[in-house]
């Protein structure tokens, strides 16, 4: 398929996944604050930290109040990672590959964006934020479902999946990183008494609470981190996302698992093996923040390698035309 098309579908899905994750963070935070009204002032800054865009925020907003942060993350068109900006970008990418994706996907994405951009969207966000952010998540899920059921699982679909998985892995690592930093300033305190509510919130940010409960009974920082990084079956764990990216990559190239023909396959393969053969105690020893930081860097390298391998093809072009 065309490199430009592969690039567009990859980014379309990354942007939608990004928008969904931002909505998820905000919603969980809103829920959390209902239980802890006294904490209200402190709990919005970490949301901006998760995105890694504090500097940009501080440039345009005065304080980390609920309204400012929610506006920044949801409706700020000048902030490229706000939900609205992500959806606008996803839609522009979608528009440029309308002939590749199914009409159902395009029409849904179009509708998703138009409703969000409508003034009534902003009104609902203020009036009933829980419902508003819930709708965003559900629409993202609907998009994923439509992609799954109305589009052939060929090359384009596999690129879409990789975009989604890389983005999701990155976001899960950021949630964990920030919450760990906030809740456990001294990272060696394993199994200390901790705030059960807050760690539940971390799990909920990744829609992981119920599935976690089925695996582990005690909500400890260690267990939560282990689940979100290493669980092999939970669809938002980092390991699962990397593993699925690898599968899609092999499908695109037609190579068998365990082999690598290009930089993208090599880097994904190495990351996958490391996640397969590392445990949570080693991570804690290494330092949670350091580990998350290196994971994010490596996910970025994978992204760059995918770009170099598939999207930015620069052939040697003859300057002379055909003989006449």
Partner 1 sequence: MKSFAVYDPGDFYDELVDSSGMPRPGARLLVEKIESLPEGDLTLRQKAAEAMLLKMGITFNVYGRDEGTEKIMPFDIIPRIVPGNEWKQIENGLKQRTFALNEFLQDIYNEKKILKDKVVPEDLIFTSRTYRKECEGFTPPRKIWCHVTGTDLVRDRDGRFYVLEDNLRCPSGVSYVLENRRVLKRTFPQVFEASHVRPVDDYPTKLLEMLEYLVPPHVQSPTIGVLTPGIYNSAYFEHSFLSQQMGVELVEGQDLVVAEGFVHMLTTKGLKRVDVLYRRIDDDFIDPEAFRPDSLLGVRGLVGVYKAGRLAMANAPGTGIADDKVIYAYVPKIISYYTGEDPILPNVPTYICRNDEDRAYVLAHLDQLVVKAANESGGYGMLVGPHAAEAERAAFAEKIKAEPRNYMAQPTISLSRVPTIVGDRLEGRHVDLRPYVLFGKDIYVQPGGLTRVALVKGSLVVNSSQGGGSKDTWVLKEI
Where along the sequence are the contacts to partner 1 (CB under 8 A)?
A: 1-4, 6, 77, 88, 92, 95-96, 98-100, 103, 106-107, 110-111, 114, 117, 155, 159, 252, 310-311, 313, 315-318, 321-324
At closest approach, how far in Å is the CB of 100 from partner 1? 8
Residue 96: exposure state from Cβ atoms within 10 A (0-12, 13-18, ≥19): middle
At closest approach, how far in Å is the CB of 324 from partner 1? 6
Q: Which is nearer to partner 1, 64 or 72 (CB)?
A: 72
Give the relative orientation of helices 129-150 and 155-183 as an angle to the nearest 10 degrees.
Answer: 150
At closest approach, how far in Å is the CB of 314 from partner 1? 9
- In contact, 245 and 237? CB cutoff 8 Å: no
Residue 131: CB atoms within 10 Å: 11
At closest approach, how far in Å is the CB of 253 from partner 1? 9
Q: Which is nearer to partner 1, 75 or 181 (CB)?
A: 75
At closest approach, how far in Å is the CB of 75 from partner 1? 11
Name the token pair of 72: 């920044």
- In contact, 100 and 150? CB cutoff 8 Å: no
Q: Which is nearer to partner 1, 45 or 92 (CB)?
A: 92
At closest approach, how far in Å is the CB of 146 from partner 1? 14
Q: Which is nearer to partner 1, 114 or 197 (CB)?
A: 114
Name the token pair of 184: 């456990």
> What is the Cα–Cα distance from 207 to 254, expressed in whole angstroms?
33
Q: Which is nearer to partner 1, 103 or 150 (CB)?
A: 103
At closest approach, how far in Å is the CB of 15 from partner 1? 15
DSSP for 244-278, written as a single string: HHHHHHHHHHTPPTT--SSHHHHHHHHHHHHHHT-
CA dist 320 to 187, 313, 314, 315, 323, Å? 63, 20, 17, 15, 8
> What is the Cα–Cα distance from 114 to 260, expressed in whole angstroms?
42
Residue of 167, 309, 165, 142 lying closest to 247 (CA atoms): 165
CA dist 116 to 7, 87, 190, 205, 241, Å? 25, 9, 42, 22, 28
- In contact, 117 and 84? CB cutoff 8 Å: yes
Q: Which is nearer to partner 1, 8 or 51 (CB)?
A: 8
Q: Which is nearer to partner 1, 181 or 311 (CB)?
A: 311
Residue 213: CB atoms within 10 Å: 13
Q: Which is nearer to partner 1, 34 or 322 (CB)?
A: 322
At closest approach, how far in Å is the CB of 309 from partner 1? 8
Name the token pair of 246: 């690898």
Give the relative orientation of helices 83-95 and 3-35 as an angle to the nearest 10 degrees.
Answer: 160
Q: Which is nearer to partner 1, 164 or 283 (CB)?
A: 164
At closest approach, how far in Å is the CB of 121 from partner 1? 13
């Amino acid at each position: 398929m065309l490199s430009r098309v592969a690039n567009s579908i990859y980014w379309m899905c990354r942007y939608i996944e990004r928008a969904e994750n931002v909505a998820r963070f905000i919603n969980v935070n809103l829920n959390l604050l209902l239980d802890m009204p006294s904490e209200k002032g402190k709990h919005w800054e970490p949301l901006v930290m998760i995105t890694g865009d504090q500097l940009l925020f501080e440039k345009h907003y005065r304080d980390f109040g609920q309204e400012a942060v929610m506006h920044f993350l949801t409706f700020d068109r000048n902030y490229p990672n706000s939900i609205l900006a992500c959806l606008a970008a996803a839609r522009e990418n979608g528009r440029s590959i309308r002939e590749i994706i199914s009409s159902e996907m395009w029409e849904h994405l179009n509708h998703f964006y138009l409703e969000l951009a409508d003034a009534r969207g902003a009104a609902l966000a203020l009036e009933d934020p829980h419902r508003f952010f819930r709708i965003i998540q559900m629409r993202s899920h609907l998009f994923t479902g439509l992609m799954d059921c109305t589009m052939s699982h060929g090359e384009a679909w596999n690129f879409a999946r990789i975009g989604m998985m890389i983005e999701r892995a990155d976001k899960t690592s950021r949630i964990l990183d920030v919450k760990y930093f906030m809740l456990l300033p001294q990272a060696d305190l394993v199994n200390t008494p901790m705030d059960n509510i807050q760690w539940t919130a971390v799990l909920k940010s990744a829609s992981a609470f119920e599935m976690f409960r089925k695996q582990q009974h005690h909500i400890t920082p260690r267990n939560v981190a282990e689940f979100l990084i290493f669980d092999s079956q939970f669809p938002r764990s980092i390991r699962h996302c990397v593993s699925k990216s690898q599968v899609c990559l092999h499908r695109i190239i037609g190579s068998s698992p365990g082999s690598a023909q290009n930089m993208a396959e090599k880097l994904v393969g190495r990351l996958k093996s490391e996640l397969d053969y590392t445990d949570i105690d080693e991570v804690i020893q290494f330092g949670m923040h350091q580990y998350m930081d290196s994971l994010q860097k490596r996910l970025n390298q994978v992204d760059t390698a995918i770009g170099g391998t598939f999207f930015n093809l620069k052939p040697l072009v003859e300057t002379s035309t055909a003989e006449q």
